[in-house]
Amino acid sequence: MTPDKGSGLEQLFGFYDRRGYQHRVGTGKRPAIVVIDFSNAFTANEGDFPGGDFSKEMAATLRMLDAARAKRIPIFYTTIAYADPQNEAGLWGKKVPWLYHCKVGSAAVEIDLRLEARPNEPVIVKRFPSALYKTDLLTRLKALRIDTVLLAGCTTSVCVRATTIDMMQHGFMTLPVADAIGEFDPQLHALHLKDLNSRYGDVVSIDEALSYLSSVDESASSANDK
């Protein structure tokens, strides 16, 4: 999204540009894809959760997943789910009571079927925004010696943002794929992508992501069959 000339968003973008936030972290040789919370709660308004229409973003995600599968590159999904939502959601649940609908075993927490998730592509259950916080995803990524993480999913301003920052803090080259990331508001989407690209990771287009994946040596990418 390009902000309208003279808008507040354009002024904010100018701030980042004037600060010189133009450095890139680059890519490594052992990527993985992490799809954040493209569950029915967010994509199909399942369980009285006010989801959004992320059809285009999921279509871009599926293109990336197909490319990764062809190269045997590891794929992970996350979903927000609670066995006891009232207690396990903590203060986040108090701030966002819709989360109480994300109950383990419900249709709301299942990964959207349009992504064609496969049995060897793990679903990481998380309770809070970051995909790494109190989950085993970090252990899994380290076991596979992953150095680069491409992020898809939703939402830009919450769980994608939290995961990008956390991935960077743990030493992963992190690439949020703009076309494969959904947000409820286009200005929030644009602003948070700008901030993430400026400070924490390298925001890329779906075409850039596919080009990178095509360049990966299959023998160097530990696949999900481990």
Which residue among 67, 75, 117, 159 is the active-site one? Answer: 159
Give the residue-averaged pLDDT of 178-197.
Answer: 94
> Which CATH number applies to 29-214?
3.40.50.850
Q: Where are the domains of the chain?
A: 29-214
pTM of the prediction? Answer: 0.91
pLDDT tier for residue 20 given thresholds of 50, 70 and 90 = low
- CB neighbour class for 134 (10 Å; exposed up to 12, middle 13-18, buried from 19): exposed
DSSP H/E element including 178? strand 173-182
DSSP letter for each residue of 38-65: -BHHHHS-GGG------HHHHHHHHHHH
Cα torsion angle, 138, 171, 64, 67, sign: negative
Q: How many CB atoms lie within 10 A of CB 156?
A: 29
Alpha-carbon distance 147 to 89, whole Å? Answer: 30
In the structure encoding, which two tokens stand for residue 100, read together? 């109480």
Q: 154 catalytic, yes or no?
A: no
- For residue range 127-184, what is the model confidence (pLDDT) as tens digits? 999 999 999 999 999 999 999 999 999 999 999 999 999 999 999 999 999 999 999 9
pLDDT tier for residue 13 given thresholds of 50, 70 and 90 = confident
Alpha-carbon distance 163 to 151, whole Å? Answer: 9
Alpha-carbon distance 33 to 75, whole Å? Answer: 5
201 neighbors 164 (Cβ within 8 angstroms): yes
pLDDT tier for residue 226 given thresholds of 50, 70 and 90 = very low
Q: In 98-205, at which residue ranges do the beta strands (DSSP E only) sit?
A: 123-126, 148-154, 173-182
Q: Is 37 helix (H, G, I), strand (E, B) or coil?
A: coil
pLDDT tier for residue 218 given thresholds of 50, 70 and 90 = confident
Q: How many CB atoms lie within 10 A of CB 34?
A: 25
